[in-house]
Amino acid sequence: MNIKAENLSKNYKKKNSPDIEVLKNIDFLITSGQKVAFTGPSGAGKSTLIHILGLMDRPTSGKVYIGDIDCFAGDDEYLCNMRKKNIGFIFQFHYLMPDFTVLENILLPAWSERNIKLKQARSILKKVGLLHRQNHFPNELSGGEEQRTAFARALINNPRIIFADEPTGNLDKTTGIEIEKLLFENSSETGSTLVLVTHNEELASKADAIIKISDGQMSV
Ligand SMILES: Nc1ncnc2c1ncn2[C@@H]1O[C@H](COP(=O)(O)OP(=O)(O)O)[C@@H](O)[C@H]1O
Ligand SMILES: [Mg+2]
């Protein structure tokens, strides 16, 4: 699926202080199936941007089109459905639910259909190399295994777009490379669009395009 950002801006307001302009006039087009890396210094606005693209936050102005749909024209329920249907998101910290097993965590985004999704959940677990840990709890896993679980959870609804915000930022180099490989392979296999934020230049260089963000603006 295409993702188009049109003149996106995001400001934060605070009483008795000037507005903080976090994103300024961002414009780009990511075409269907592309693998794109956002890079830039800490505080540049990368997380704010990827959260907006992932429909978890609204811009102050501007538009995001996913496919042909002007997403923010919809209400929150619409955004939620759009997200569930089309988007998988991976964070730097996995945000797994500690009282749920690996298998249950993966089924959470599809909980009402968990019985019919069971087979698919196990096949995703196999793909990420964690089938043998399906009944374990997150605190019994290594950092890399936790992130694989988070990735598997992002795949359960067959998203056409995967967003990952510094997915390897909290992992050692070797484990990070394994996760990166999974992300890129999955995107190639399924034709889904991959949008990631990374500080890792080696990883960014594997992407089809790099978009640099600096001080809330795109730079070259
Ligand atoms: N809720 C908020 N209120 C005010 N400022 C915020 C808020 N969230 C983020 N910011 C500011 O936005 C800027 C960009 O943050 P972020 O998108 O997290 O950057 P990055 O991911 O590139 O490190 C930072 O200066 C941060 O302090
Ligand atoms: Mg960030």
pLDDT at 199: 86
Ligand 1 atom 27 nearest Cα:
43
Helical H segments across the chain, by residue range? 46-53, 76-86, 102-107, 114-127, 143-155, 173-190, 201-205
Q: What are the counts of helices (DSSP H) followed by strands (DSSP E) for the chain?
A: 7, 10
Q: Percent of the chain, pLDDT > 70?
A: 100
pLDDT 10s digits, 102-157? 999 999 999 999 999 999 999 999 999 999 999 999 999 999 999 999 999 999 99
Q: How far apart are CA 59 and CA 123, in angstroms?
A: 37
- Our answer on whether the CB atom of 39 is closer than 6 Å to any ligand 1 atom is no
pLDDT at 147: 94
pLDDT at 201: 85
* Ligand 1 pocket mutation, candidates 12, 19, 218, criterion most atoms within 8 A of CB: 12
Give the residue-averaged pLDDT of 201-220.
Answer: 91
Nearest CA to 156 among 112, 196, 194?
A: 112
pLDDT band for position 202 (50/70/90)? confident
Number of domains making up the chain: 1
- Our answer on whether the CB atom of 44 is closer than 6 Å to any ligand 1 atom is yes
- Our answer on whether the CB atom of 10 is closer than 6 Å to any ligand 1 atom is no
pLDDT band for position 51 (50/70/90)? very high
Q: How far apart are CA 116 and CA 34, in angstroms?
A: 31
pLDDT band for position 100 (50/70/90)? very high
Task: Look at the chain and count its residues.
Answer: 220
pLDDT at 150: 96
pLDDT band for position 96 (50/70/90)? very high
pLDDT at 43: 94
Ligand 2 centroid–CA 39 distance in Å is: 10
- Our answer on whether the CB atom of 186 is closer than 6 Å to any ligand 1 atom is no
User: Is residue 220 over pLDDT 80?
Assistant: no
The residue segments making up the domain with residue 105 are 3-219
- Our answer on whether the CB atom of 41 is closer than 6 Å to any ligand 1 atom is no
User: Is residue 184 over pLDDT 80?
Assistant: yes
Q: How far apart are CA 153 and CA 156, in angstroms?
A: 5
Q: Which one-letter amino acid corresponds to residue 210?
A: I
Ligand 2 centroid–CA 191 distance in Å is: 26
Closest approach atom of ligand 1 to CA 50 = 17
Least confident of 42-46, 169-173, 195-199: 169-173
DSSP bridge partners of 35: 194
* Ligand 1 pocket mutation, candidates 14, 22, 49, criterion most atoms within 8 A of CB: 22
Residue at token pair 């997150």: 138
Q: For residue 118, what is the domain's CATH number? A: 3.40.50.300
Q: Supply the pTM of this predicted model.
A: 0.94
User: Is residue 15 over pLDDT 90?
Assistant: no
Contact 179, 19 (CB under 8 A): no
- Our answer on whether the CB atom of 22 is closer than 6 Å to any ligand 1 atom is yes
Nearest CA to 102 among 134, 56, 125, 79?
A: 134
pLDDT at 215: 94
Give the residue-averaged pLDDT of 68-91.
Answer: 95
Ligand nearest to the CA of 18: 1
Q: At what angle do helices 143-155 and 114-127 cross, to 10 degrees?
A: 130
Nearest CA to 37 among 192, 160, 213?
A: 213
- Our answer on whether the CB atom of 12 is closer than 6 Å to any ligand 1 atom is yes
